[in-house]
């Protein structure tokens, strides 16, 4: 049901502007409406399915992994190894399934004429989220202030930007905000709250937040790195090609 309230205002605005401001009939109206219906129905089914199958299990696992019975009472951050591994794995896996990211990757692939691969972008973003969430869990366990990590991340992004290929920069910035929608947020929030409740001396209110911020920062770096790597690779191929030209 929440998808309907999500989409309804959007549909009203789109139709209102199309009809009253642009004064144009929508080309192929039936197809567009059918598409809207598919999006609505698809998203509703998708969320319903997640609610039935994956969310309860994922939340239960986050609780079990952070439970004192599993971690033991040793208390230093080494004993949280499995938590960090789980954070990285679930961050990666949920990002691959994120519908909004699939949409952006399709668009980017189309616009760049195939230079940005759909899977290349999705995997680059997923790696960024994986690093971000496990580092975020590490922060909760050690109790260091959130803003130092975020500010350090910003500085890295600013340094990396002039070195990244110009055409990727906007897309990289976008992929930060895209990653954390429907699939990732509920699981990651459960993990953060579970950790902050279990670790002695942490308050769920003060320390439980912030994982999403990590997950939206690190993909920016990993996507720029992906573009740098593929540019470097292309250049090397070209050099190899021109070398063999010379020899022959």
Partner 1 sequence: MLFEFLHSIRDSIRDILPIIVVVGFFQLVVLQQPLPDLGNIIFGTVLVVLGLTLFIRGLEMGLFPIGESMAYGFARKGSLFWLVTFAFALGFTTTVAEPALIAIADEAANVAAGGGVIENTEDSRSGYAQGLRLTVALSVGAAIVIGVIRIIKGWPIQWFIIGGYIGVVTMTIFAPAEIIGIAYDSGGVTTSTVTVPLVTALGVGLASSIKGRNPMTDGFGLIALASLMPMIFVMAYGMMF
Which residues, numbered 167-226, are part of the site for partner 1 (CB under 8 A)? 167, 169-171, 173-174, 176-183, 185, 205-213, 215-216
Contact pick of 19, 111, 229, 234 for partner 1 (by CB under 8 A): 111
Rounded CA-CA distance 2/6 in Å is: 6
CB 98 within 8 A of CB 178: yes
For residues 67 and 240, which CB has a smaller minimum distance to partner 1 in the complex?
67
User: How many Cβ atoms are within 10 Å of 241's Cβ, its own excluded?
Assistant: 9
Rounded CA-CA distance 86/137 in Å is: 10
Contact between 157 and partner 1 per CB under 8 A? yes
Contact between 243 and partner 1 per CB under 8 A? no
Contact between 152 and partner 1 per CB under 8 A? no
Contact between 70 and partner 1 per CB under 8 A? yes
Q: How far is the CB of 193 from partner 1 (least distance, A)?
A: 10
- Cβ-Cβ contacts under 8 Å for 94 (sequence gap 6 or more): 129, 183, 184, 187, 188
Burial class (CB in 10 A: 0-12, 13-18, 19+), 162: exposed
Contact between 151 and partner 1 per CB under 8 A? yes
Contact between 235 and partner 1 per CB under 8 A? no
* Backbone dihedral region for residue 201 (phi beyond 0: left; psi -120 to 50: alpha; all else: beta): left
Burial class (CB in 10 A: 0-12, 13-18, 19+), 168: buried
For residues 107 and 243, which CB has a smaller minimum distance to partner 1 in the complex?
107
CB 218 within 8 A of CB 128: yes
For residues 27 and 244, which CB has a smaller minimum distance to partner 1 in the complex?
27
Stretch that binds partner 1, among 71-79, 104-112, 226-234, 238-246 (CB under 8 A): 104-112
Contact between 156 and partner 1 per CB under 8 A? no
Contact pick of 19, 89, 229, 234 for partner 1 (by CB under 8 A): 89
Contact between 112 and partner 1 per CB under 8 A? yes
CB 129 within 8 A of CB 92: yes
Contact between 44 and partner 1 per CB under 8 A? yes
For residues 36 and 77, which CB has a smaller minimum distance to partner 1 in the complex?
36
Instruction: Tell me the number of residues near partner 1 by CB under 8 A.
Output: 105
For residues 75 and 186, which CB has a smaller minimum distance to partner 1 in the complex?
186
Contact pick of 97, 202, 228, 230 for partner 1 (by CB under 8 A): 97
How distant is the alpha carbon of residue 45 from its chain centre? 21
CB-facing half-sphere around the CA of 205: CA atoms within 13 A? 0
Q: How far is the CB of 197 from partner 1 (least distance, A)?
A: 15
């Amino acid at each position: 049901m929440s998808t309907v309230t999500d989409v309804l205002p959007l549909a009203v605005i789109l139709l209102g502007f199309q009809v009253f401001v642009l004064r144009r009939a929508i080309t192929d109206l039936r197809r567009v409406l059918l598409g809207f219906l598919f999006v609505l129905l698809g998203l509703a089914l998708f969320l319903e399915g997640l609610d039935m199958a994956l969310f309860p299990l994922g939340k239960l696992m986050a609780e079990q992994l952070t439970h004192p019975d599993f971690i033991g009472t040793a208390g230093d951050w080494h004993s949280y190894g499995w938590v960090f591994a789980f954070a990285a794995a679930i961050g990666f896996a949920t990002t691959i399934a994120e519908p909004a990211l699939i949409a952006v990757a399709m668009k980017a692939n189309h616009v760049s004429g195939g230079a940005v691969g759909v899977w290349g972008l999705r995997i680059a973003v997923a790696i960024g989220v994986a690093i971000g969430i496990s580092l975020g869990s590490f922060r909760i366990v050690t109790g260091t202030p959130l803003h130092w990590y975020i500010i350090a991340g910003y500085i890295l992004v600013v340094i990396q930007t002039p070195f990244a290929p110009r055409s990727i920069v906007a897309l990289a910035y976008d992929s930060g905000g895209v990653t954390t929608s429907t699939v990732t947020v509920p699981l990651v929030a459960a993990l953060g709250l579970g950790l902050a409740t279990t670790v002695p001396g942490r308050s769920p209110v003060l320390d439980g937040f912030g994982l999403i911020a990590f997950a939206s920062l690190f993909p920016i770096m990993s996507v720029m790195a992906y573009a740098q790597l593929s540019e470097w690779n292309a250049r090397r191929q070209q050099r190899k090609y021109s070398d063999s030209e010379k020899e022959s």
